[in-house]
């Protein structure tokens, strides 16, 4: 009997139930964090099946494969049905499904293979070199690197914007090279064609084109899908949005679940305007789920007050009553902040919290270095959620390699790393230089003096000259600054799409280094911290505090959350402030504070270094500040003494 089939609806609250039962046509669930969006999608599947809809007529799209799998599992459990007929997965997966079927319509062979990011980039590198072969040395020198080209290419494909606009967004400096970049992209496309391969962007783009250009196919596929369910809708990009529109063009049943206030991936072409566009279509039903099952009342009140200004008004209602007010913590500088967090974590553990129930969130990995050192000192176990760790990232290692050479001229891997940063020095030359240096040291000679007397190809003499300058400096901080000013800042800019973030990392490294007078102790401290961390990384999360960027914390929750470095320049970040682009920063902050179940600490520093780094200048922090927006009555203020 039908009654019995629908008993699962009792697991939902009234608003959630309405979103499941009354959604028909074009629907969007605007649901705040922790309100059960995933639950609604899962139960919608169960509800459709209970009403006789065949699983093959449902399309479920989410942003990660794991999320799709989990959702299908939950739906299976609720329905007790086998759901292999349902098309479910990431956008890439779904698009691939269509392209296999209709490859020839977009000029592909059916057995095309898919390049991962690394393969794609190396093909781009190939196209680039092929193009540059015909160019003079001078022209080649400051040409954007493959990764930069990939970022521009990917943005262009995901947003359907012009090459010109994409270059402007990614790095306007390369606008003069628009024609050249365009030719390289052509070569890249040709190469993919001739190899019968596609990249991730192609999967989306070809599927989009297929439906855009071929009405018959679009109609046939749109006919199949009675229902389209989309999770994390706020993070879709333009092409994905259009694909959803095409596939729903027959039956018009879409249930999109999202939170416009949590859209934080615009740098990858996601546009939260999709939510607005979606709602603007007449007849769209909007469901609001306002109950928050995650956080205590005190935290929910605060979350409501901090709703990003440019988002759909919504107020979460707490289920968990009372709780401790969020705490705003004023600290003097990064070191004091790190000590506060470590100290508080020790107290919490003393009170019975498990380390894995505690997380520290920050805007950028570089903000966590002092904390990592402090945690090691306090013997608190921690893990850092993916993303390359600060001291393991290429740019930090590059810069440190110069200091390592000065410290120990026989450090071959440091030589190899540093030398190859210079134009015209390859593996073989770098290796010879390293061996020579080592031999000179063994003969009791000054390797830097001796190396000046020999000559190698490329920018060899420039390299040695820079090294010679660096080794004459007194402190590690000055040394790093010299590496940056002599060539490395320029090098970064031509090489990395995110060069600005990397420069900030290095400015942070100078800041840390300037506390040391001895090069040896600086390098040792960094090395030790790194090792301890690596050990932590490979072991389990049990017994470990989590350190993560806000981006990687999305969808997760902890009993206690610290959000650190909420200072102008860090969070919101410097570029957002200088470009007056604070909307996304507000949303990132919102995502951060909504991860907390029971306790939330927001800390900031009164002093810091100026950004961009100008010498070892101490400043009072000023500028756009999230702390100023916090309603006084909703939080407690602590001051660290």
Residues at the binding site for ATP are 31-38
Distance of CA 473 to the CA centre of its chain: 37
**Token pair for residue 499?**
């060069």
> Taking contact as CB under 6 A, which single stretch among the options 12-20, 366-374, 397-405, 438-446 is the one that binds ligand ATP?
12-20
Residue 349 CB, nearest distance to ligand ATP (Å)?
24
Does 37 contact ligand ATP by CB under 6 A? yes
Nearer to Mg ion, 235 or 493 (CB): 235
569 three-state secondary structure: strand
Q: Which residue from 5, 6, 9, 13 is in contact with ligand ATP, where contact means CB under 6 A?
A: 13
Residue 555 CB, nearest distance to Mg ion (Å)?
5
Q: CA dist 590 to 305, 306, 536, 578, 583, Å?
A: 10, 7, 29, 21, 11
Query: Nearest to residue 421, comparing CAs of 17, 145, 96, 27?
Result: 145
Specify whether the CB–CB gap between 329 and 601 falls below 8 A.
yes
Distance of CA 453 to the CA centre of its chain: 46
Which among Mg ion, ligand ATP, none contacts residue 35 (Cβ within 5 to 8 A by kind)? ligand ATP
Residue 298 CB, nearest distance to ligand ATP (Å)?
18
Which among ligand ATP, Mg ion, none contacts residue 36 (Cβ within 5 to 8 A by kind)? ligand ATP
Residue 555 CB, nearest distance to ligand ATP (Å)?
4
Which among ligand ATP, Mg ion, none contacts residue 587 (Cβ within 5 to 8 A by kind)? none
Nearer to Mg ion, 64 or 540 (CB): 64
Does 315 contact ligand ATP by CB under 6 A? no
User: Read out DSSP for 234-285?
Assistant: GG-BHHHHHHHHHHTTTT--EEEEE-GGG---GGGTB-THHHHHHHHSTT-E
320 three-state secondary structure: strand
Does 555 contact ligand ATP by CB under 6 A? yes
Does 68 contact ligand ATP by CB under 6 A? no
> Taking contact as CB under 5 A, which single stretch among the options 32-40, 436-444, 453-461, 510-518 is the one that binds Mg ion?
32-40
**Token pair for residue 453?**
């007397």
Does 159 contact ligand ATP by CB under 6 A? no
29: left (phi over 0), alpha (psi -120 to 50) or beta: beta
Beta-carbon count within 10 A of 638 CB: 15
Q: Which residue from 15, 23, 28, 38 is in contact with ligand ATP, where contact means CB under 6 A?
A: 38
Q: Considering Cα of 243, then 245, then 251, then 256, what sign does the dihedral take?
A: positive
Beta-carbon count within 10 A of 287 CB: 19
Residue 27 CB, nearest distance to Mg ion (Å)?
17
321/298 Cα distance (integer angstroms)? 8
Does 34 contact ligand ATP by CB under 6 A? yes
Convert residues 259-278 into a mask of x (bound to ligand ATP by CB under 6 A) and - (unbound). Answer: x-------------------
Nearer to ligand ATP, 152 or 255 (CB): 255
Binding residues: 31-38
For residue 115, whether the previous peptide bond is cis, meaning omega lies within 30 degrees of 0, is no
> Taking contact as CB under 6 A, which single stretch among the options 10-18, 165-173, 234-242, 273-281 is the one that binds ligand ATP?
10-18
| Beta bridge partner(s), residue 98 | none
| Beta bridge partner(s), residue 546 | 359, 383
With tokens 């196919």, the residue in question is: 217
Does 44 contact ligand ATP by CB under 6 A? no
Q: Which residue from 294, 325, 344, 587 is in contact with ligand ATP, where contact means CB under 6 A?
A: 294
In eight-state DSSP terms, residue 559 is: E
Q: What are phi and psi of 203, to 5 degrees?
A: -55, -50
Scan residues 243-262 and list those touching ligand ATP (CB under 6 A).
Answer: 259
461/73 Cα distance (integer angstroms)? 62
Does 38 contact Mg ion by CB under 5 A? yes
Scan residues 532-571 and list those touching Mg ion (CB under 5 A).
Answer: 555
Residue 317 CB, nearest distance to Mg ion (Å)?
18
547 three-state secondary structure: strand
User: Read out DSSP for 340-371?
Assistant: HHHHHHHHHHHHT--GGGEEEEESSGGGGHHH
Q: Which residue from 19, 26, 29, 35 is in contact with ligand ATP, where contact means CB under 6 A?
A: 35
Q: What are phi and psi of 292, to 5 degrees?
A: -105, 120
Residue 504 CB, nearest distance to ligand ATP (Å)?
28
**Token pair for residue 478?**
């000055």
Does 36 contact ligand ATP by CB under 6 A? yes
| Beta bridge partner(s), residue 359 | 546, 561
Does 326 contact ligand ATP by CB under 6 A? no
Residue 31 CB, nearest distance to ligand ATP (Å)?
5
Residue 257 CB, nearest distance to Mg ion (Å)?
8
Nearer to ligand ATP, 543 or 555 (CB): 555
> Taking contact as CB under 6 A, which single stretch among the options 37-45, 100-108, 269-277, 500-508 is the one that binds ligand ATP?
37-45
Nearer to ligand ATP, 31 or 492 (CB): 31
| Burial (CB count <10 Å: 0-12, 13-18, 19+), residue 385 | middle
Residue 591 CB, nearest distance to ligand ATP (Å)?
8
For 427-515, where are the alpha helices, taking DSSP H only?
A: 427-442, 447-453, 460-471, 476-483, 489-495, 499-513
* Position closest to ligand ATP via CB: 36
123 three-state secondary structure: helix
| Burial (CB count <10 Å: 0-12, 13-18, 19+), residue 542 | exposed
Residue 383 CB, nearest distance to ligand ATP (Å)?
20
Nearer to ligand ATP, 530 or 557 (CB): 557
* Number of residues forming the site for ligand ATP (CB under 6 A): 15
Task: List contacts with ligand ATP (CB under 6 A).
Answer: 12-13, 16, 31, 33-39, 259, 293-294, 555
Task: List contacts with Mg ion (CB under 5 A).
Answer: 38, 555
């Amino acid at each position: 009997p039908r009654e019995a089939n629908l008993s699962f609806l009792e697991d939902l609250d009234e608003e959630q139930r309405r979103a499941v039962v009354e959604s028909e046509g074009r629907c969007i669930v605007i649901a705040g964090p922790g309100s059960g969006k995933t639950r609604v999608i899962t139960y919608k599947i169960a509800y459709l099946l209970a009403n006789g809809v065949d699983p093959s007529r449902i399309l479920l799209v989410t942003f990660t494969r794991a999320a799709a799998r989990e959702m299908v599992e939950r739906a299976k459990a609720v329905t007790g049905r086998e759901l292999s007929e349902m098309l479910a997965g990431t956008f890439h997966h779904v698009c691939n499904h269509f392209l296999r079927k209709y490859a020839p319509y977009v000029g592909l062979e059916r057995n095309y293979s898919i390049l991962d990011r690394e393969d794609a980039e190396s093909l781009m590198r190939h196209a680039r070199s092929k193009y540059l072969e015909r160019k003079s040395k001078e022209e080649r020198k400051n040409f954007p690197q493959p990764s930069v080209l990939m970022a521009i290419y990917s943005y262009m494909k995901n947003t359907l914007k012009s090459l010109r606009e994409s270059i402007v967004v990614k790095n306007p400096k390369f606008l003069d090279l628009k024609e050249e970049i365009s030719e390289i992209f052509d070569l890249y496309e040709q190469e993919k064609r001739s190899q019968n391969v596609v990249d991730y962007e192609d999967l989306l783009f070809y599927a989009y084109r297929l439906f855009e250009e071929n009405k018959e196919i679009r109609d046939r596929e749109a006919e199949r899908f009675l229902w389209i369910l989309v999770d994390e809708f706020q993070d879709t990009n333009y092409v994905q949005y259009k694909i959803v529109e095409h596939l729903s063009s027959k039956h018009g049943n879409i249930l999109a679940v999202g939170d416009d206030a949590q859209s934080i991936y615009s740098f990858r072409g996601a546009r939260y305007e999709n939510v607005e566009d979606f709602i603007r279509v007449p007849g769209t039903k909007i469901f609001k789920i306002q109950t928050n099952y995650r956080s205590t009342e005190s935290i929910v009140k605060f979350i409501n007050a901090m709703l990003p200004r440019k988002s759909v008004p919504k107020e979460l209602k707490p289920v968990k009553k009372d709780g401790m007010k969020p705490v705003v913590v004023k600290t003097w500088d990064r070191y004091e902040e790190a000590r506060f967090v470590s100290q508080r974590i020790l107290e919490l553990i003393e009170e019975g919290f498990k380390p894995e129930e505690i997380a520290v969130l920050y805007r950028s990995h570089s903000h966590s270095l002092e904390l990592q050192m402090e945690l090691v000192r306090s013997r608190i176990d921690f893990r850092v959620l993916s993303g390359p760790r600060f001291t393991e990232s290429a740019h930090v290692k590059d810069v440190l390699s110069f200091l390592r050479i000065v410290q120990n001229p026989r450090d071959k891997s440091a030589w190899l790393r540093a030398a190859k940063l210079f134009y015209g020095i390859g593996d073989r030359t770098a290796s010879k230089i390293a061996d020579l240096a080592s031999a000179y040291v063994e003969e009791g000679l000054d390797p830097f003096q001796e190396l000046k007397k020999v000559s190698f190809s490329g920018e060899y003499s420039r390299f040695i000259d820079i090294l010679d300058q660096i080794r004459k400096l007194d402190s590690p901080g000055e040394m790093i600054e010299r590496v940056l000013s002599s060539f490395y800042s320029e090098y970064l800019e031509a090489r990395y799409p995110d060069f600005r973030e990397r420069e900030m990392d290095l400015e942070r490294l100078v800041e840390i280094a300037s506390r040391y007078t001895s090069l040896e102790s600086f390098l040792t401290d960094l090395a030790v911290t790194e090792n301890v961390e690596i050990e932590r990384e490979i072991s389990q999360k049990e017994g470990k505090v989590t350190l993560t960027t806000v981006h990687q914390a999305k969808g997760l929750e902890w009993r206690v959350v610290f959000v650190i470095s909420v200072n102008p320049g860090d969070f919101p970040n410097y570029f957002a402030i200088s470009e007056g682009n604070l909307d996304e920063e507000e949303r990132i902050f919102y995502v951060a504070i909504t991860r907390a179940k029971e306790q939330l600490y927001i800390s900031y520093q009164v002093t810091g270094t100026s950004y961009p780094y100008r010498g070892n200048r101490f400043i009072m922090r000023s500028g756009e500040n999230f702390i100023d927006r916090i309603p006084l009555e909703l939080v407690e203020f602590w001051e660290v003494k």
